[in-house]
Chains A and B, each alone.
Chain A
Amino acid sequence: MLIVLTPSSFTTPSQFKSHAIATSMALDTAEDELELTIQIIKPQPNSGSGPKYQHISSQGATISDCIEKLEMQLGRIIGLGHCATMVISDDVCTKYNLLYTLDDLIRGNELGTNTLLIHTMDKAKDILTSSAAEENNTQDLLMDITQLNQQLYSTKTDLFSFYNNSISPHSTAIMLSLDINNDAQQGQSNSESGAQGAASGSTSATSDSTSNSSNSSGQQSKSIKSQGDISIFVDGNLVDTLSYQELKGFNWLDSKTKRNLFKLENISSEELTNATMELVNLGQNIKLETSITNNTPLIYAKVDVRAKILKIQDENDAILTNQISYIDESIQSAFKELVQKEVDDSIKLSKEKNFDKLNFYHLFEKNHYKEWQQYLANLDDPDNYMQGIQVYVDAAITENAQ
């Protein structure tokens, strides 16, 4: 290795002087062109004065065009190997097919496969610049939010997943959607990041989690808002941006989902009278059985959830201890109904918008290949395979005292 690497290393000029390291990117539209903004590390003396990161923008017909102009502007080659996040505005997603737009980056092996893709209804550049203060790095903040969503709601939104899902038969890829919170905050010195779960049931109460930051000089800055919204892409085209509420049904069918809150209402049992119970999902085991009967694809989902009771509100304001388990048949029945309803709502939505978030295509293809091919052949449009799929759920809770 030394023999091979040493001569080249001696004669190659230091890349510190010839390259600019991009840590994040933002893609917007500007008139009829693309506008690319990159966040680069700005070399600074040890005294640490001035901002650590620099944002520069350029417009062009393609991403490569923009990068070329940025390099001329900077006088440096832009290295994308450390670019961890890429924010894409809704305008770009609506006007362009992302498979072709991002082709420059994946085909040329420019970006890493773990680069996180983020959608925004606002200007992508604002997402990038909103937290770029002296103490904060936008990249870390966005990664924290996105990775937490990945862990909790199984929304894998990196470049590789986007491409792999888009070019596979089910064609459905997702991106986390973040927005700007226009209530500017001043003087806050800490920054928080996180995704959130929302209470569900007959009421729809949502809570926002925002991340606020300001630089040391106390200038007003916008903050990033994450509500768990997800943008759905089919074949690289944006289909819709759906709220966390609308996608809850899918979370019940995904074994990786955990820590989502759910609420059971109007529970009556021996100990409870017309009670409301809030629980948190600590993890779930999913078993999906498939069959194709009379040319109808059926999915039977057995969902076993380990849950912890967070709150019980009884009609009679009874003092309820933790010494007994309140999970009885009435709770199980209510839970099963809740899950079936939420799953039905999500499946109905996926049929309306024609996307396949959980890759049912592959599920039927691997288990019933010939019948599945026959089912597709019988359809007027094989891409509309979601229309005929029916999902039945049998859900149960196991109380976890932790």
Chain B
Amino acid sequence: MTTQITTREYILFAMFAVLTSKIMTMPHVIYNYATHDAIFSVLLNMLIELLLVVLITLLIAKNPDKTFFEFLSSKITKFGATIVIIIISLYLLLKATFILQETYTFFLHTIYEQFNIFYFFVPVFLLIGYMAIKGVRTIGKSLEIFGFFVVIGLGIAFINTVGLATFDANLPYFRDGISDVFAGTFYSSFYIGNSLVLLFLMGKVKINSKITQKTLLCCSLVALFVLIMDFLFYDILGYTVIYSTFALSDLSQFNPFVSDLGHLSWLSIIVGTVNLFSLVAIMLYSIGEGTKQFCKTNTATIPILFALAIMFGTCYILKFDLKVFNEIIIDYGTYFATSVLGIVTILLFILNIVRRSKNETVTKQSNNISSNIDANSVDAI
């Protein structure tokens, strides 16, 4: 019997995927290219993310008994499905590595002056490896608990900072046209596409009615929250965004009341950490699920362990330096991410349309057969 998660847990998966990374380093990266219009790049990014969520959820809702690999194999042959799975898994592996490095740098930025890499990576790898190996139900149950803390933390972060906004710091918008908006979206494309992890939940979700509408509604609320927090970031920090790296933690320092208390910034640390770890665990699980058929094994343990080794190796080669990561992502990762997102989006569109067309053809044929039978019956009588 296949392990299944509830619709609510699926929606939590989607919400975490939409939220993570969008209020950490992404706003700073976008600002480098879009400056005053950066918020519109964020808007575009969130719309792309929501589109992916909708397309994937539609696919999952209509194919509740098939995994993504099985579904793809029936549409574009096994070889084609293998290629797609490998590309998406590689993409998720790179994103997971980046998010891990982002988290390590976040700890250095907010908590520790020095942080031994082994004291970070060993416990983290144990944690996310365990979650990924235990499977989708463990992650789903964990998200139900984490979600509460994330909501509280983000709510407090919002309340702390909204009073400091002037709402006009970046006006007028589109002063130099709209090309900056697309540049901001293009160069931050590596930060979007987290929702591709949902593809690997296909066949593992107990489908309720209106799952697509509910998922879209909840993810839209998350997207709206991201938009608001990034707007506050750009509005409050103004031109000093260039000095800032992590939006969530840097924003929480601006309220003197919070600074005096000294400890409320920990909320942002907890929220950020929980978010990042959860998504890395989900990505690791997705990579395991996607690649386990190539290992000719029923469990994803070996692919997950292999992925962890690659992640650590990559971080080691890049010297655990977030700036080095960012440079590589801007130079190369952007093109790879844009290509993957573009191809996957088009593929999802086609799969959804082709599926509906086939169903309509079958329905018409069924109707014709039925009408023929009726006609023959009448004649017989």
Contact = CB atoms under 8 A, between A and B. Distances in A.
Given A109-B109, A163-B240, A164-B237, A1 B270 contact: yes
B243 A107 contact: yes
Contacts of A12: 112, 114
Contacts of B168: 362, 366
A4 B124 contact: yes
Contacts of B237: 160, 164
**Chain A interface: which size bin?**
20 to 34
Interface in A70-117: 106-107, 109, 112-114
Contact of B115 (A6, A8, A109, A112): A8
Contact of A3 (B107, B111, B123): B123
B172 A106 contact: no
B127 A11 contact: no
B112 A1 contact: no
A1 B110 CA distance: 14
A365 interface: yes
Interface string B272-301: 011000000000000000000000000000
Contacts of A318: none
A365 B36 CA distance: 12
Interface stretch (B76-84, B251-259, B325-333): B251-259
Given A4-B124, A4-B273, A109-B109, A365 B254 contact: no
B239 interface: yes
A59 B120 CA distance: 38
A109 B126 CA distance: 31
Contact of B172 (A4, A160, A369): A369
A55 B112 CA distance: 26
A50 interface: no
A166 to B, nearest CB: 9
A291 to B, nearest CB: 16
Contacts of B124: 3-4
Contacts of B240: 160, 163-164, 167
A7 B107 CA distance: 14
A168 interface: yes
Given A160-B237, A366-B172, 13 more contacts: A3-B124, A3-B126, A3-B127, A8-B115, A11-B119, A106-B243, A109-B109, A113-B254, A160-B254, A163-B239, A164-B237, A362-B171, A369-B175
User: Can you list the 7 inter-chain pairs with the closest CB atoms, starting with the nearest?
Assistant: A366-B171, A8-B119, A3-B123, A7-B119, A164-B238, A369-B172, A167-B239
